[in-house]
Amino acid sequence: MEPGNGFQSFVGVSLREMDSVALINRIDTKFVFPHSRLEDVLSGMESRYSVLEIDGVRVHPYDTVYFDDAVLGLYLAHHNGRANRLKLRLRHYGKSDVAFMEVKRKTNTGRTIKSRKRTSLPQRRLTEAQRVFFNNQTGAIGDTWRFSMQIRFNRVTFVSFNPSERVTLDFSLEAQDETGNVQFPGLVIAEVKQGGKANSAFLSRMHELKIRPFSVSKYCLGISALRNDIKKNNFLPQHRMLKALLPQLNHGTL
């Protein structure tokens, strides 16, 4: 099964139906694996999950523009292992005109909390309203935030209503900044999003297939792959694991 085939064996659900499982405050568990394992991962899951479908489409493009300070302090907080950290982004969802400005917080209890507000389609320069939103959410003053990276990928979203859970599969990742761009062919990033610890068919399948949780941030992965002038020592083991998993990755920065 290759990403993009429509995942037609799953029952489709609307965005309105899926919104009942918003999980703005949640626990995340991430995995990475090659496309070649996708069929095994999803086999038999049709009875446990439905798939988001909008206008007959199940594979949706996402376009995300990230912002950081002048020294990439948000990236470095993650690299340095700070338990409480932030990501600031503008995200365009699918082919619609729906876009949000978002602050994604990781807490020292391991939870992810997302604050967001509707906005105009993402650009690499913040509007005044976007700057005010980010400053209010972070306590920053003045013109602190500037464009750091843009990442595009395709996503399929699965949902379980009992227990409440979302599972996203992201693939066809491409990151770019003012210095260039990198792609991650053949890589699938899966993320299980739960309100609390609960039985999960997807987590059980990952355990059965011996695919272990893998801590990865698309933002940090993109920055560390694009930039040679940034601290990345703590991400090098992650890079080596990705290259072992996907030998076709051939980025000099990795």
Domains and CATH numbers, the chain: 24-245 (3.20.100.30)
**Token pair belonging to 105:** 């917080």
Is pTM beyond 0.85? Reply is yes
**Token pair belonging to 20:** 């009942």
Section 162-183 average pLDDT: 93
Distance CA 28, CA 111 (A): 7
Percentage of the chain beyond pLDDT 70 is: 94
Distance CA 207, CA 41 (A): 10
Q: What is the pLDDT of residue 243?
A: 87
**DSSP tally for the chain: helices H, then strands E:** 7, 10
The band of 94, judged by pLDDT with boundaries at 50, 70 and 90, is confident
Distance CA 57, CA 39 (A): 19
Distance CA 169, CA 54 (A): 16
Q: What is the pLDDT of residue 15?
A: 84
Compare 164 and 221 and report the one with higher pLDDT.
Answer: 221
Distance CA 248, CA 146 (A): 32
Q: What is the pLDDT of residue 251?
A: 59
Q: What is the pLDDT of residue 253?
A: 56
The band of 144, judged by pLDDT with boundaries at 50, 70 and 90, is very high
- 207: which residues sit within 8 A by CB, 6+ positions away? none
Q: What is the pLDDT of residue 1?
A: 46
Q: What is the pLDDT of residue 89?
A: 98
First to last CA, the chain: 28
142 Rama sector, left if φ>0, alpha if ψ -120 to 50, beta otherwise: left
Q: What is the pLDDT of residue 244?
A: 87
Section 113-142 average pLDDT: 95
- Please report which helix (H) or strand (E) contains residue 224, including its range: helix 218-226
Among 238, 202, 221, smallest CA distance to 43 is for 202
- 119: which residues sit within 8 A by CB, 6+ positions away? 90, 99, 100, 101, 127, 129, 130, 133
**Token pair belonging to 23:** 């999980």
Q: What is the pLDDT of residues 179-234, one digit of tens each?
A: 899 999 899 999 999 877 778 999 999 999 999 999 899 999 999 999 989 999 99
Q: What is the pLDDT of residues 228-241, one digit of tens each?
A: 899 999 998 888 88
Q: What is the pLDDT of residue 194?
A: 87
Q: What is the pLDDT of residue 137?
A: 95
Cβ-contact 164, 195 below 8 angstroms: yes
User: Would the pLDDT of 154 be above 80?
Assistant: yes
- 194: which residues sit within 8 A by CB, 6+ positions away? 23, 26, 27, 29, 163, 164, 165, 200
Q: What is the pLDDT of residue 93?
A: 87
User: Would the pLDDT of 27 be above 90?
Assistant: no
